[in-house]
């Protein structure tokens, strides 16, 4: 009911009469009044005028299910959304939710992770209340060998959404989205599978949204949407937009279980396309020119000796010759 009332207040320019809300929800005026009190406690400013009704004058930047649903246009992604004020890692929450019977499309979202995980055993830290840390549960009917492509699918969706705000947002294959050469988003994909069968995939996405300053150690390589544009963003709206874009890219991917339908879009946004990259594997370094991804999501690199390598994600580290990008 709270969600429906919030949606109605948001969609209405002026006042919404108490009577209309009562009829919409099939409850008494007292019940509506109680919801308004709850919303005010959560930081919403609601004007109440006798004989006119209620009007929303300002909404806090919250990422509760009600806020997310009020923007969400997906068929299955983020349905349901499970919110934690604070948790260890949303990827770990999704594993737990799966064992409790939650299904494909469930989203776990939090204001604060106290054990956020990055790739290669790194820590993912993000201050409370300014960024996005969330994970989606997928139960895809694809071969486990193809699961790593889901990271590319997610990266493409995030980059498409960010590039509406920042035209030079790019994908750093395979897991990051960057703006001006600095990381704005990291993706951690985890999977539980049998030999030829996926139990589930967790797609964890961390996005720096409204952060104003970063610790000195990462200042040179990290950025936020705010730092890139000077604008503050509604995180719930971004979440809704990301998963709407993801749903569409995912459905294209699932139809073929490889990347042909997405390769062009992906390669257009690939930061290293036609640029020199350094490949690090087992202590050795070599350089080449990145040509784009192939239909399996491998990065094609033309090496200095003219040979071509198709690099699988997770196999080696690929970075720019002058630094991170
Ligand atoms: C990386 O760049 O190394 C990946 C970072 C992934 C961070 C996200 S935040 C939400 C989800 N929960 C986690 O513990 N990690 C991912």
What are the pLDDT digits (tens) for 108-163?
A: 999 999 999 999 899 999 999 999 999 999 999 999 999 999 999 999 999 999 99
What is the CA(190)–ligand 1 centre distance, in A? 10
pLDDT exceeds cutoff 80 at 21: yes
Distance in angstroms (rounded) separating the CA atoms of residues 290 and 270: 9
Mean pLDDT of 270-275: 95
- pLDDT tens by residue, 167-198: 999 999 999 999 999 999 999 999 999 989 99
- What is the position in ligand 1's atom list of the atom closest to the CA of 185? 2
- Cα-Cα end-to-end distance for the chain: 47
According to the model, what pLDDT value does residue 315 have? 65
Closest Cα to residue 211, out of 222, 195, 199? 222
pLDDT tier for residue 12 given thresholds of 50, 70 and 90 = very high
Q: Which residue lies with its CA nearest to atom 16 of ligand 1?
A: 204
Q: Which residue lies with its CA nearest to atom 7 of ligand 1?
A: 206
Which of 204, 235, 319 for mutating ligand 1's site (highest number of atoms within 8 Å of CB)?
204
According to the model, what pLDDT value does residue 260 have? 79
According to the model, what pLDDT value does residue 314 have? 73
% of the chain surpassing 70 pLDDT: 99
pLDDT exceeds cutoff 90 at 22: yes
According to the model, what pLDDT value does residue 325 have? 74
Distance in angstroms (rounded) separating the CA atoms of residues 130 and 118: 18
Q: How far is CA 48 from CA 7, 35, 54, 70, 131, in A?
A: 17, 13, 5, 21, 32
According to the model, what pLDDT value does residue 74 have? 98
Q: Which residue lies with its CA nearest to atom 11 of ligand 1?
A: 204
Closest Cα to residue 319, out of 110, 27, 311? 311
- The alpha carbon of residue 166 and the mean position of all alpha carbons in its chain are separated, in whole angstroms, by 16
What is the CA(262)–ligand 1 centre distance, in A? 24
Q: Which residues line ligand 1 (CB under 6 A)?
A: 89-91, 113, 116-119, 122, 124, 133-135, 175-176, 186-188, 204-206
According to the model, what pLDDT value does residue 317 have? 77
Closest Cα to residue 199, out of 126, 137, 269? 137
State whether the Cα torsion 223-225-231-237 is positive or negative: negative
Angle at the Cα of 130 (from 124 to 132), degrees rounded to 5?
55
Buried b / exposed e over 228-263, threshold 16 CB at 10 Å, is beeeebbbbbbbbbbbbbbbebbeebeeeebbeebb
- What is the position in ligand 1's atom list of the atom closest to the CA of 117? 14
Q: Which residues contact 283 (CB under 8 A, 6 or more apart)?
A: none
Torsion of CA 10, 12, 27, 44, to 10 degrees: 40
% of the chain surpassing 90 pLDDT: 86
Distance in angstroms (rounded) separating the CA atoms of residues 146 and 157: 18
């Amino acid at each position: 009911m709270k969600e429906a009332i919030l949606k109605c207040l948001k969609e209405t320019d002026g006042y919404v009469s108490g009577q209309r809300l009562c009829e919409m929800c099939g409850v008494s005026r007292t019940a509506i009044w109680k919801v308004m009190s709850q919303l005010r406690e959560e930081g919403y400013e609601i004007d109440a005028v006798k004989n006119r009704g209620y009007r929303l004058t300002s909404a806090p930047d919250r990422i509760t299910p009600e806020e997310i649903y009020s923007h969400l246009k997906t068929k299955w992604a983020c349905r349901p959304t499970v919110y934690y004020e604070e948790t260890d890692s949303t990827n770990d929450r999704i594993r737990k939710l799966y064992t409790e019977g939650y299904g494909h499309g469930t989203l776990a979202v939090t204001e604060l992770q106290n054990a956020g995980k990055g790739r290669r055993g790194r820590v993912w830290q993000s201050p409370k209340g300014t960024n996005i840390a969330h994970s989606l549960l997928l139960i895809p009917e694809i071969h486990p060998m193809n699961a790593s492509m889901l990271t590319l699918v997610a990266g493409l969706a995030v980059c498409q959404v960010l590039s509406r705000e920042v035209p030079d947002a790019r994908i750093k294959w395979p897991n990051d989205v960057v703006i001006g050469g600095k990381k704005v988003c990291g993706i951690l994909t985890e999977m539980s599978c049998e030999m030829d069968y996926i139990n589930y995939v967790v797609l964890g996405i961390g996005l720096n949204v409204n952060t104003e300053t970063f610790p000195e150690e990462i200042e040179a390589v990290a950025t936020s949407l705010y730092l890139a544009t000077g604008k503050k963003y509604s995180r719930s709206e971004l979440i809704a937009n990301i998963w709407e874009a993801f749903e569409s890219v995912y459905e294209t991917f699932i139809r073929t279980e490889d990347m042909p339908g997405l390769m062009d879009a992906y390669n257009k946004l690939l930061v290293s396309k036609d640029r020199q990259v350094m490949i690090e594997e087992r202590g050795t370094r070599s350089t080449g020119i990145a040509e784009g991804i192939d239909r399996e999501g491998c990065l094609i690199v033309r090496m200095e000796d003219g040979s071509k390598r198709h690099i699988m994600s997770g196999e080696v580290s690929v970075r720019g010759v002058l630094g991170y990008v």
